[in-house]
Amino acid sequence: MINLHNTLLGLVLIFFLLTNSSIFAQGDGNGSGKVDDEFFFDVDAVEFEEPKLLRPEFHGNLSVGAPFSEGMDESEKESSRVSDQTEVTLWSGVQIFKNLLFVTELEIEDGFEEFVVEKFALDWNIFNDRCVFRIGKFYYPFGIERLVENPVNNKLIDRPSPSVKIIPGTYSDEGVELYGDVPFLYKTKLKYEFAVTNGLSSYKRKGEQHLDDNNDNLSLGGRLGFELLPGLEIGGSYSTGKYDDDEKFRMDFVGTDASFRRGGFEMRGEYIRSNVERPTVAGGSFDRDGYYIQTSYKYSPENNYMKYVEFVGRFDSVDPDDLVTDEGDADRIAFGINYSLNHHFILKLEYEIENEAKDDKKSKGFIQMNISW
């Protein structure tokens, strides 16, 4: 199949050049990326009280980070390093009609040398947010960590190990999706997301295909979430598809998640398990799993010197291959503190201790600055 990645990237860049810079409206989102109560960082979470038709919105984020203790140099293996510390993310969207929205997201990574189109999609709101049809490239609807993986919304600097070693990092895919919220009695709510996409081309982390699908098999999956009480939600996810060129081997994912938020307190956790079929000559089929638990508290004093200060703690554990015991099997404890001067500036500090199965404990610390517009 023809690789359209460069063409798609060009269209995104042209679209950004045509947009008018502006700060997004404040309001309540539907959970598709919006975390902060007063500022949006994801274009498809914007809700217009009076839709501004054909008036593009544009904003972005610059994240600059560096280690301040050992364990972050390039000679370290991947399990002991945080992901790329410096990146630029650009979002843009335009309300074409009252119920039709076009959104894009472009990430510039690896020292401004790698351009990745994470989102390029049309959203058709069929019925009052209870049924929305999406077509294009979008984040695959599995789990909840994907909703807060961006440096602005991520309460720590690095991501939970299962979110990069079981699920292949920030997993975007091309296809169609149907999602929405269905309210029930007593302020309960059902959230559903179902997608049909090209699927992954490998069980390894770099399995995303960027429009050049390697086979004719489609990946099926999605998530169901139940908001039992205001601030309390539990959910389950599933995905399946054949990943190899000859369509012989299947890869399945299953996950459960829970989150609770009240005032400045938040707790969330996920468990992810995957079964990978593999030829005998490559070692045979195997399972992998992992989980994380994260808690945080945000204190928001009313003064001119601080929007908030937030304290974060997380424990995660991962086993990327049940047939092998190596440095990939690891537990981590991470602590962080975030300081926000205003809606557009966040300074983060993080320190973590990692205990690998066949290596000594490693500790490392890093700092990151986020500027948003």
Whole-angstrom Cα distance, residue 352 to residue 313?
10
pLDDT value of residue 201: 82
> Are 90 and 106 in contact, with CB atoms under 8 Å apart?
yes
From the list 260, 125, 122, 119, the residue with the least C-alpha distance to 179 is 125
Neighbours of 34 (CB within 10 A): 22
């960082």: which residue's tokens? 41
From the list 215, 222, 179, the residue with the least C-alpha distance to 198 is 215
Ordered by start, the domain boundaries in the chain are 5-372
Residue length of the chain: 373
> Are 37 and 343 in contact, with CB atoms under 8 Å apart?
no
C-alpha of 9 from chain center: 20
38 SS3 class = coil
DSSP state of 45: G
Q: Which residues of 207-234 are buried (b: 16+ CB within 10 A; e: fewer)?
A: bbbbbebbbebbbebbbebebeeeeebe
User: Across the strands, what pairs with 175?
Assistant: 136, 197
Is the model's pTM score more than 0.85? no
pLDDT value of residue 109: 80
> Are 251 and 241 in contact, with CB atoms under 8 Å apart?
yes
280 SS3 class = helix
Q: For residue 367, what are its two tokens?
A: 């700092």
In order of 75, 78, 82, 223, 272, the CA distances from 65 in angstroms are 18, 17, 10, 33, 28
Whole-angstrom Cα distance, residue 148 to residue 328?
24
> Who contacts 69 (Cβ-Cβ below 8 Å, separation ≥6)?
351, 363, 364, 365, 366
> Are 266 and 295 in contact, with CB atoms under 8 Å apart?
yes
- What superfamily would CATH give domain 5-372? Porin (2.40.160.10)
pLDDT value of residue 345: 92
From first to last of the 373 residues of the chain, give the pLDDT tens digit: 334 444 445 544 544 444 433 333 333 333 344 444 444 444 445 454 455 778 888 888 999 888 877 554 443 444 334 445 678 999 988 889 989 999 999 988 876 778 888 899 999 999 988 999 999 999 999 999 999 988 888 999 999 999 989 987 768 899 999 999 999 888 899 999 999 999 888 887 766 766 677 788 899 999 999 999 889 999 999 999 999 888 899 999 999 999 999 999 999 999 999 999 999 988 899 999 999 999 999 999 878 888 999 999 999 999 999 998 887 889 999 999 999 988 889 999 999 999 987 777 888 898 999 998 8
> Are 98 and 123 in contact, with CB atoms under 8 Å apart?
no
> Are 82 and 70 in contact, with CB atoms under 8 Å apart?
no
51 SS3 class = coil
Q: Which amino acid is at 98?
A: K
Whole-angstrom Cα distance, residue 16 to residue 55?
12
From the list 338, 343, 340, the residue with the least C-alpha distance to 23 is 343
Q: Which amino acid is at 301?
A: P
Whole-angstrom Cα distance, residue 28 to residue 36?
10
Whole-angstrom Cα distance, residue 50 to residue 126?
18
pLDDT value of residue 207: 64
DSSP state of 186: G
